[in-house]
Amino acid sequence: MALITAKLRAIMALDPQRAEIDFKRQDYSWGDLARTVGAIEAALDTMGLPSEACVGTLLRNRPGHIAAILAILSTDRCLVTLNPLLPDAKLFDDVRGLDLPVIVADEEDIARAGFLNAVALAGSAVIAIDGRLEGVRVLDAHAQPRMPIRTAPGIAIEMLTSGTTGAPKRVPLSRVAFDASFAGFTSYERGRSFEDRPQLRSGVVMVTNPLTHIGGIYGCIGALMAGRRIALLEKFSVADWVDAVRRNRPKVAPAVPSAVRMLLEANVDPADLASLSAMISGTAPLPPELVDAFYEKYGVPILGNYGATEFAGAVAGWTIDDFRAHWRDKRGSVGRVHGNVAARVVDAGTGVELPHGTEGLLELKGDQLGPSYAMDGDRWLRTTDRAMLDADGFLYIRGRADNAIIRGGFKVHPDDVAAVLNQHPAIREAAVVGVPDERLGAVPAAAVILKEDAEEPDVAVFRNWLRERLIPYQVPVHIRFVADFPRTPSMKPSTPGLQKLFRA
């Protein structure tokens, strides 16, 4: 039995009366969760689903959906994530195409026109849940699977990548990988080990990223296994985030970079953040000037990290101690590589390892990356990230190598251009993509979100400002000012969605 399974089972039984989830200013106890967990487990057993059977779940950031996660993972079944935020046609394609013997879904999603038709075509059974833990039911017309039961031995979760640069792909994450990932993450806490006996702890973990994203489900499972209370936000807004911090007084709170910008722009009262000793930010590049601005205004360090769905979480990150000791001289790093992960930077063409301080492609190995890339093995997982690693183990991510724009033979990296755009005093956030060009093949195009009180700059003046800071072929050919970007569920700018803006 994997540690993740054993810990979840043990934690649930410790104190049924203790409040575990704060959701929309209402508390839900471990006992409330356990009743829904038990009802889902009973339904799965009645359907004859063995351990390691695949269970599709439309995950929303609601207490009932955390109960579904617990019910599936604590019985050694495989959680297959489905994203209810997808348009109907795409979601129903997933429902029909994944060979899922059973699907767990919120009553709200079951009521969507066309959902039950997709389920009927798929042959899946359906368990309906209520987001506020008010009931579980099996749909009479879909009470048993009408297909062979698909299993995924050793896999805890099958989930989609974020789809930032293209079509999302499904990634199997093993229980062994999660154990290794959480062991690496737990080492950041003084005096705590992943092998500690299960116990309920003080403190609060805020879960603001969607549970369909690795950041959201990782934070949720980590909090459950640590026995910590969860402050759950259905989606991010400045008002709801600040209210959750005031109500729960966490020491650490998460916010993706775009959310940090919104908090700064909203001029949040420092007293509302008085409980915070740090913030954690991942999922997207974290500009160092954003860290500096937040620290200067609120005295709260932002601890960036680096990970991916395929890594079963983070593989590098900042600690508070490292931030205090090294931020000035390691500014812009994503933090130190975890102790149970090995990293190196290689030449993209030859694969030869490069010396410290040289930019190349990042390669990793570690048990959380799967058996093919085990720590004691010889194989390295090559990422698509341009990176630099220094002699102290601090990692710098320079951007993706696989989204380069080839403009008339010159290579333009969108992240480099966006980093310069984000330095403009009127800009809250910028994103850059490549768009086709008949003469040059492709050219950079920039979508720009202005700060709330900023006036749209004169385009000619703005281009001159860019020319002073960029190589001529890096200057965007197309610039569009927008209220917001098309985004993935994790709030990253969506490359396909941005490219559609410039085709419109």
Task: Note whether 3-170 and 236-400 share their fold.
Answer: yes
In CATH terms, the superfamily for domain 405-503 is ANL, C-terminal domain (3.30.300.30)
Strands of 358-440, DSSP E: 360-366, 381-389, 394-400, 405-407, 410-412, 427-437
Considering the entire predicted model, what is its pTM? 0.81
Find out whether 159 and 212 touch, Cβ atoms under 8 Å: yes
CATH number 3.40.50.12780 given to 236-400: yes
CATH of region 3-170 = 3.40.50.980
Give the sign of the dihedral formed by CA 408, CA 410, CA 414, CA 419. Answer: negative
Which amino acid is located at 158 in the chain?
E
Other C-beta atoms closer than 10 Å to the C-beta of 486 total 16
Q: Where are the domains of the chain?
A: 3-170, 236-400, 405-503
**Torsion angle, alpha carbons of 188, 192, 197, 199, to 10:** -90
Instruction: Using the predicted structure, report yes or no on whether residue 25 has a pLDDT greater than 80.
Output: yes
Per DSSP, the three-state class of 74 is coil
Taking only the tens place, the pLDDT of each residue in 363-398 is: 999 988 888 898 888 899 999 899 999 999 999 998
Write out pLDDT tens, residues 434-454.
Answer: 999 888 889 999 999 999 888
Q: Three-state DSSP class for 189?
A: coil
Query: What DSSP designation does 438 have?
Result: T
By CB atoms closer than 10 A (0-12, 13-18, 19+), residue 363 is: buried
What is the reported pLDDT for 164?
47
pLDDT digits (tens, 9 = 90+) for 143-198: 999 999 999 999 999 987 655 444 567 889 888 887 787 776 665 565 555 566 77
pLDDT digits (tens, 9 = 90+) for 335-374: 999 988 999 999 988 999 999 999 999 999 998 888 889 8
Confidence of residue 1 (pLDDT cuts 50, 70, 90): very low
